[in-house]
Amino acid sequence: MLGQRLKQVRLARGLSLEALAAEMGGIITKQALSKYEQDKSQPSQRVLHKLAAALRVKASYLWSEPAVDIEFVAYRKRSRLTRKEQERIQSIVGRALEERVHLYDLIQPDNNIDIPVQLLPVKIVEDAEYAAAQLRRQWELGLDPIAHVTHVLEAHNVHVLEVEASEKFDGISAVVRNPDGQVKAAAVVVRRGLPGERQRLSLLHELAHLVLDVAPSCDEEKAAYRFAAAFIAPATMIYHEVGTNRSFLQPQELLLWKQHLGISVQALLYRLRDLEVITASYYTQWCIIVNKLKWRKQEPCELPPEEPAWLHQNVLRALSEGFITREEAQDMLGKQFDIEVPLSLIERRAFMKLPLEERRRILAQQAEKMVTHYETDLAWRDLGGGDVVEYEE
């Protein structure tokens, strides 16, 4: 168990064996670390604590059994990732999901999971259209464009994770189950740095792999793509916005629909062909136009990528309610930050024992600090700067 845990955390931290040995001040060699990970030998207590400190975890964690089982949905068949890169990504995702489930258990222990994991049947590609409509109804999304795909997923216990990876990485999905096999959470994972329109469709493509039960005779990738496009742009919406039969499309129209629907021009054209709004031959003409305009790799009017918010919100909540320490919060978010931490009961009692004048002085200082922050915030907003950010890299 130690070996598996050690390797998972090391890879999740982005460290090679050599880099981890260096982090420990050279007290151990990378060959020795390799033996630990293969469970061929065990570290002494001194080395174990050095390992834990270098990896920013408690020593007990390295010996602990995972509280949940994480099941990864297979990489896409065309994936060119090496086994080593797959292990790295799965270690990052596994570690992140364990932390998030732990947060769930702290602040929302009775949270209901609303994810139909591989429960939506697809026998032919066209069935994915109905599966997307069914999930939209289940999640009460109506037929309007989805303003923020990431927020919709996070609101339904589907965590959105982004990893640093090469262009060879398309994405992956994961399901988290408790020892009884019940679903605790799920995740869709994409490469960091995608433009918003590609990011949104990729997230929904991975959602498809998560929720669809695709028959062996059906092309799973085509079904997943059809589901993603139907989820983000339902047929009824397309017919209303674009029409039911178009023989000619203006480039400006496509760019306007791109902004409105949050989908790339190329994906929109493919969607229009699937719904027979345009013919296959006209779709081919547009593919040639896209190449001539050099839109294939980079389209105009790129949308900004969406930012996941669940982790940030819930880490701050757990910190405010005293479930985790500042150090644990900073480790989960991967950054240092300046926030107020509530006083513990012992600290409050100590404060009340101070002389009255000293207590008034401390409270006055805190009030002055809050007023200064508020005035700075207002001044910044007047200059068009938006919210004041207190995070420090």
Q: What is the CATH number of the domain that holds 16?
A: 1.10.260.40
- State CA 215 to chain mean position distance: 28
- Within-domain flag for 236: yes
Assess if residue 79 is contained within a domain.
no
Residue 390 is predicted with a pLDDT of 40
Q: What is the arithmetic mean of pLDDT over 342-360?
A: 65
Q: Are residues 142 and 46 in the same domain?
A: no
Q: How confident is the model at residue 307 (pLDDT cuts 50, 70, 90)?
A: very high
Are 235 and 363 in a shared domain? no
Confirm whether 102 is domain-assigned.
no
Residue 96 included in any domain = no
Q: How far apart are CA 55 and CA 13, in angstroms?
A: 7
Query: Which has more pLDDT, 389 or 377?
Result: 377
Q: Provide the number of structural domains found in the chain.
A: 3
Task: Assess contact for 192 and 162: CB atoms under 8 A.
Answer: yes
Domain boundary among 292, 312, 330: 292
Distance (Å, rounded) from C-alpha 185 to C-alpha 372? 41
352 in any annotated domain: yes
Single residue among 25, 41, 65 that ends a domain in this structure? 65
Q: What is the pLDDT of residue 179?
A: 85
pLDDT number for residue 75:
65
When pLDDT is cut at 50, 70 and 90, the band that residue 326 belongs to is: confident
Region 94-103: what's the mean pLDDT?
A: 90
Name the β-bridge partners of 159: 187
Q: What angle do CA 315, 329, 193 make, to 5 degrees?
A: 75
Residue that wins the pLDDT comparison between 51 and 125? 125
- CA dist 294 to 242, 283, 290, Å? 24, 16, 6
Asked whether the predicted pLDDT for residue 388 surpasses 60, the reply is no
What span, in angstroms and rounded, lies between the C-alpha atoms of 285 and 41?
63
According to the model, what pLDDT value does residue 257 have?
94
Within-domain flag for 329 = no
Neighbours of 143 (CB within 10 A): 12
> Which domain covers residue 163, as residue numbers?
120-292
- pLDDT at residue 368 greater than cutoff 90: no
**Domain-embedded: residue 37:** yes
CB contact set of 260 (below 8 Å; sequence gap of 6+): 145, 241
Which stretches of the chain are DSSP H helices? 2-12, 17-23, 30-37, 45-55, 59-63, 83-107, 127-138, 149-155, 196-211, 220-232, 235-241, 251-261, 265-274, 280-292, 310-320, 326-333, 345-352, 356-382
Among residues 292, 322, 355, the one where a domain terminates is 292
Q: In this structure, are 278 and 172 located in the same domain?
A: yes
Distance CA 206, CA 169 (A): 12
* Residue 350: band (very low, low, confident or very high) from pLDDT cuts 50, 70, 90: low
Instruction: Answer yes or no: do 270 and 347 share one domain.
Output: no
Q: Does some domain include residue 215?
A: yes
Whether residue 139 sits in one domain with residue 31? no
Residues 287 and 347 in one domain: no
Looking at per-residue confidence, does 264 or 26 come out higher?
A: 264
- Same domain flag for 144 and 275: yes
pLDDT for 20 beyond 80: yes
Do 132 and 59 reside in the same domain of the chain? no
pLDDT at site 215 = 96
Whether residue 261 is found in the same domain as residue 366: no
Cα distances (angstroms) measured from residue 252 to each of 127, 216, 276: 32, 41, 21
148-179: pLDDT as tens digits: 999 999 999 999 999 998 888 889 999 999 88
Would you say residue 81 has pLDDT above 90?
Answer: no
pTM for the model stands at 0.81
Do the strands 212-214 and 120-122 form a parallel or antiparallel pair, or are they unpaired? Answer: parallel
- Say whether pLDDT at 283 is over 90: yes
CB burial string 102-141: b at 16+ within 10 A, e below: bbbeeeeeeeebebbbeebebeebebbbebbbebbeeeee
Q: In this predicted structure, what is the pLDDT of residue 82?
A: 85
201: its two tokens: 């469709």
Residue 347 vs residue 357, higher pLDDT = 357
Residue 372: the pLDDT is 59
Q: Are residues 270 and 164 in the same domain?
A: yes
| 56 — pLDDT class (breaks 50, 70, 90) | confident
- pLDDT band of residue 55 (cuts 50, 70, 90) is confident
Is residue 261 located within the same domain as residue 388?
no
Residue 371 above 60 pLDDT?
A: no
The length of the chain in residues reads 393
Q: Left if phi > 0, otherwise alpha if psi is -120 to 50, otherwise beta: which for 171?
A: left
d(CA 67, CA 253): 51
**Do residues 242 and 380 both lie within one domain?**
no
